[in-house]
Amino acid sequence: TTRDWQDADARHFLPPFTDFRRLARKGARVITRADGIPLWDSDGHRILDAMRGLWCVNVGYGQRALADAATRQLSELPFYNAFFQTATPPAIELAELLAEVTPPQFEHVFFTGSGSEGNDTVVRMVRRYWDLLGEPGRDVIISRRNAYHGSTMAGASLGGMSGMHAQGGLPIPGIVHIEQPYWWAHGRPHGWSRDEFGLVAARWLEQEILRLGPEKVAAFIGEPVQGAGGVIVPPATYWPEVQRICDRYGVLLVSDEVICGFGRTGRWFGCETMGTRPDLMTFAKGVTSGYVPLGGVMVGERVARVLIERGGEFAHGYTYSGHPVACAVGLANVRLIRDLRLVEHVAGDVGPYLAQAYADLAGHPLVGEAETCGLMGALLLVRDKATGAAFDPAWEAGMVCRGHCFREGLIMRAVGDRMIIAPPLVITRTQIDEMVALIRRCLDLTLADARAAGQLG
């Protein structure tokens, strides 16, 4: 029964990013099956998953081709490592396929088990690159506040989440942060247009490079669209100016595509949508649609040539780098995305359809800002629509709304007072209509709660 599972969960399972004592009192939600986009919990409730698991189930649940690929590989070769000058066919073939679907500067892949491990690899690889070029002092990596790059020591340090940095002595040395390109919080109060603010925000990077000294700056890392930070879509002027600045000072550009990759933004990768040419590109999640763990780093030729030709051992790697079962599933998944033309589906059909639906939701009394990028969307809840005044943080408007979402059969994430979605790429217009109707219903319920609590301006 649900209660049996909840009791066992409270006794033995420590889940991520959780207040363990609070969850034990409440009881976990137990998910038992899924099909396409909906999930079902242990009590039989149907839930529309508008977050594709944890940003990862791009092709939806229940794709037979992925299960079959895993079964075949488990029967043939369930595991062998990539250490000791060894490789397996699935790892080789997936590396080749990834070189085909990624931007042309990428011909090499370093596999990991997750995006967090991928960003740890970026730190090691970037510093190794500059060391081989005879500039070992060029070791500082610049990131952004409110960015998310994983929860390992290096990944969490690269990220700009203050709550994570408050635990465990983070960030590690050699990582610094600039402000995020969030127009609502940092551009709108100054009266800047989005395009004006995009240039201002990008030049914060240049100011930091000059403050540190260009000879000390190794790389800049950023998500094309900040995911866990609240689906922060930067102004169109931001990324091209970042590219110009990195080129001017010779700084490596790293695009964290763990959330934006494999079709999410309407192109295969978010850097293509934003108009950048990164030197390194982290991926995970969507590479297998979350069916099995896999991550990695696409290594651009600027970096790869130095690592290969100036050589020596790169003393870094993981037991599961290039895991044959994970790579077999990745092969099946990327081929499925291509065969179903899901990237084109997002760019030409459901992405624009979602954008229009969100433009309509922008008229709701609680919504201060509504924005999308491909199949990612965010709604900012505000106390006063006319002024954009925020809710009292103690009331936790986002969590109130999220609670209504769960009760109404919708998984929608709250990041502060930003309500965010990232549905599977296989979603249809009819399913978007169902999702948006549920969102509107939950906004109405939250509005009623806000009135009852005296929270409205």
Percent share of the chain, pLDDT over 70? 100
Q: Torsions phi, psi of 83, nearest 5?
A: -80, 170
Exposure letters 207-246 (e unless 16+ CB within 10 A, then b): ebbeeeeeeebbbbbbbbbbbbbbbbbbbebbbebbbebb
pLDDT bucket at 304, cuts 50 / 70 / 90: very high
The token duo for 311 is 């050589």
Q: Per-residue pLDDT tens for 143-163? A: 999 999 999 999 999 999 999
pLDDT of residue 106: 98
pLDDT tens by residue, 117-131? 999 999 999 999 999
For residues 138 and 217, the answer to whether their CB atoms sit within 8 Å is yes
Of 23-27, 242-246, 368-372, where does mean pLDDT reach its minimum?
A: 23-27
Residue from 259, 303, 324, 14 nearest 115 by CA: 259
CA 65 to chain centre: 25
Span 191-214, pLDDT tens digits: 999 999 999 999 999 999 999 999
Cβ contact 355:272 at 8 Å: no
Query: SS3 of 234, please?
Result: coil
For residue 73, the model assigns a pLDDT of: 98
Q: How much is the pLDDT for 438? A: 98
- pLDDT of residue 457 exceeding 80, the answer is no
DSSP string computed for 106-146: EEEEEEESSHHHHHHHHHHHHHHHHHHTT-TT--EEEEETT
- Max alpha carbon distance in the chain (Å)? 68
CA dist 203 → 179, 180, 222, 224, 240 (Å): 10, 11, 14, 16, 11
pLDDT at 39 over 90: yes
pLDDT of 376-432, one tens digit each?
999 999 999 999 999 999 999 999 999 999 999 999 999 999 999 999 999 999 999
pLDDT value, residue 311: 77
Nearest-angstrom CA–CA distance, 175 and 24: 36
Q: Can you give the pTM of this predicted structure?
A: 0.96
Distance (Å, rounded) from C-alpha 346 to C-alpha 110? 28
**How many degrees, rounded to 5, is the angle at CA 149 between CA 144 and CA 155?**
105
Whether residue 175 is predicted with pLDDT greater than 90 in this model: the reply is: yes
* Per-residue pLDDT at 145: 98
pLDDT score of 432: 98
Query: How many C-beta atoms lie closer than 10 Å to residue 31's C-beta?
Result: 15
pLDDT tens-digit series, residues 59-96: 999 999 999 999 999 999 999 999 999 999 999 999 99
Neighbours of 440 (CB within 10 A): 14
- The answer to whether the peptide bond before residue 171 is cis (omega within 30 degrees of 0) is yes
